[in-house]
Amino acid sequence: MNQTSSQPSTWSQRFESALHPAIARFNASIGFDIRLIEYDITGSQAHARMLAHTGIISAEEGEKLVRGLEQIRQEYRQGFFNPGIDAEDVHLAVERRLTELVGEVGKKLHTARSRNDQVSTDTRLYLRDQIQQIRVQLREFQSVLLNLAEQHVETLIPGYTHLQRAQPLSLAHHLLAYFEMGQRDWERLGEIYQRVNISPLGSGALAGTTFPIDRHYTAQLLNFSGVYANSLDGVSDRDFAIEFLCAASLIMVHLSRLSEEMILWASEEFGFITLKDSCSTGSSIMPQKKNPDVPELVRGKTGRVFGHLQGLLVLMKGLPLAYNKDLQEDKEALFDAVITVQACLEAMTILLREGMEFHITRLQAAVNEDFSNATDVADYLAAKGVPFREAYNLVGKVVKTSLAQGKLLKDLTLDEWKGLHPAFEADIYDAIAPARVVAARNSYGGTGFEQVRRALQTAKNRISHKNADD
Ligand code: ARG
């Protein structure tokens, strides 16, 4: 063979010269797909067992392949297996090492298989594990929120719409809103898992294979719940990865919204929380500062995950069936999204668990110093038969005159109230006290303490049965 580089070509004898070194680097995915190595080994072991099971190779050959592959796993774990660019990708690297270890029989591993169904299988095995891990992390995140919520049922916090004070809330209710988002994220990943958990192995390059393989056998060995029905689809589908990136993006949306709130809450203007030293940093120039780096980074990293989703959608949209090398580009997007989501969930869980404290007195003062009980005055009148819209207009006027006089609603005298409308009685003061205002919103799913206690109980039951539908 006429080699122009020192490395022999990986390809058949159709090729006369080796790759240009820059093209070899350009083409190689070993730099990042090495992350798949253990999945690649596991997938190859299942394939080797199936080849022996179906008589395509002998039982003894099958055993040799499985053992050799196991040895590569150990070498990798001990840090001795570090293939370079010349191996091109993890699949070829493992196969090459296997042949070094077990001799000629190593060359039989790739019978009835293509890297196309192989990489697709590896990616699914990888993602299955990562999804499980993220679901465990989501449960931890939820349980930290739940613990915090339990401590703060009767702590009040201003509720906002348009970032304007709207109506006071139980702090627990606010926290449980994030619990619910986490619940949907957890459920969504469970649904996606079902579609990730299908085996494309045995699809071959694109059309299946001439060998009498048993796809159900490998699927079973790898704990897949089924097999792809169509070989073309099996090698070229990346819906499962896109779905995962959608779910990952939504997790990030939720974490980012919480982050934004925490950043606001930690500001001097809000002053609702203090960040502890373990979870905040100082400024290199302004000694008074304590910066909310953790939520800021989570908010910032959100963009990366969205970018990966967009990247993969665009990657797929113009691809003719079946495999195209473009698909190699799915991996870094997926890996980075997984790493980012896992890191953000971990950091936010730590931040909530031990990195911050609510300022109860400041929160108490906040709900007492605004007009967020104005709706309750209107409701008070409406409950006494005044049409709501009329009551609403009247209270608007009261707010306007009170503002002009530098007063709050609780500062109006009973005579002033009665002068506004004869339906007002002494119980108006009770009706507009923040704790009453919150307690009164006792509609299902509302912030009333009774509702919040019920919601806490439901939330607890949900996460204590966490594995019931896994
Ligand atoms: N490294 C490749 C990838 O990640 C493996 C599949 C290569 N298949 C091929 N026909 N060149 O997509």
* CB of residue 328 inside a 6 A radius of ligand 1: yes
How far apart, in whole angstroms, are the C-alpha atoms of residue 220 and residue 41? 16
Q: Could you say which architecture CATH assigns to the domain 116-152+159-359?
A: Up-down Bundle (1.20)
Task: Point out the least confidently predicted range of 55-64, 130-139, 378-387.
Answer: 378-387
List the residue whose alpha carbon is closest to atom 12 of ligand 1. Answer: 328
**Residues 6+ away with beta carbon under 8 Å from 12:** none
Classify 172 as helix, strand or coil.
helix
Q: Give residue 237 CA to ligand 1 midpoint distance, Å.
A: 14
- For residue 384, pLDDT over 60 is answered with yes
pTM: 0.94
**Farthest-apart Cα atoms in the chain, separation:** 105
List the residue whose alpha carbon is closest to atom 11 of ligand 1. Answer: 325
Please report which confidence band the pLDDT of residue 2 belongs to, taking 50, 70 and 90 as the band edges. Answer: very low
- For residue 184, pLDDT over 80 is answered with yes
Q: What is the pLDDT of residue 466?
A: 52
Q: What is the pLDDT of residue 6?
A: 43
* CB of residue 126 inside a 6 A radius of ligand 1: no
Q: What is the pLDDT of residue 345?
A: 98
* CB of residue 89 inside a 6 A radius of ligand 1: yes
User: Mind listing the pLDDT tens digit for each residue in 61-97?
Assistant: 999 999 999 999 999 999 999 999 999 999 999 999 9
What CATH code would you report for 367-464? Answer: 1.10.40.30
**Measured distance between the N- and C-terminal CA atoms of the chain, rounded to whole angstroms:** 55
Task: Determine what percent of the chain is predicted with pLDDT higher than 70.
Answer: 97
User: Mind listing the pLDDT tens digit for each residue in 446-469?
Assistant: 999 999 999 999 999 999 875 545
Q: What is the pLDDT of residue 56?
A: 98
Highest mean pLDDT among 227-241, 267-281, 286-300, 394-408: 227-241
Report the atom number in ligand 1 closest to the C-alpha of 89. 1
* CB of residue 112 inside a 6 A radius of ligand 1: no
User: Mind listing the pLDDT tens digit for each residue in 29-54?
Assistant: 999 999 999 999 999 999 999 999 99
- What does the block give as tokens for 247? 């779910």
**Would the CATH topology of 116-152+159-359 be identical to that of 367-464?**
no
- For residue 288, pLDDT over 80 is answered with no
Q: What is the pLDDT of residue 1?
A: 35
Q: What is the DSSP string of 128-191?
A: HHHHHHHHHHHHHHHHHHHHHHHHTSS-EEEEEETTEEEEEEEHHHHHHHHHHHHHHHHHHHHH
Task: Determine what percent of the chain is predicted with pLDDT higher than 90.
Answer: 91
| Catalytic sites, residue numbers | 162, 283
* CB of residue 115 inside a 6 A radius of ligand 1: yes
For residue 100, the tally of other CB atoms under 10 A from its CB is: 10
Domain ranges of the chain: 2-111, 116-152+159-359, 367-464
Q: Could you say which architecture CATH assigns to the domain 2-111?
A: Orthogonal Bundle (1.10)
Distances, alpha carbon 6 to alpha carbons 1, 14, 19, in Å: 12, 18, 10
Distances, alpha carbon 297 to alpha carbons 260, 283, 300, 301, 369, in Å: 10, 16, 5, 6, 33
- For residue 285, pLDDT over 80 is answered with no
Q: What is the pLDDT of residue 279?
A: 84
List the residue whose alpha carbon is closest to atom 7 of ligand 1. Answer: 115
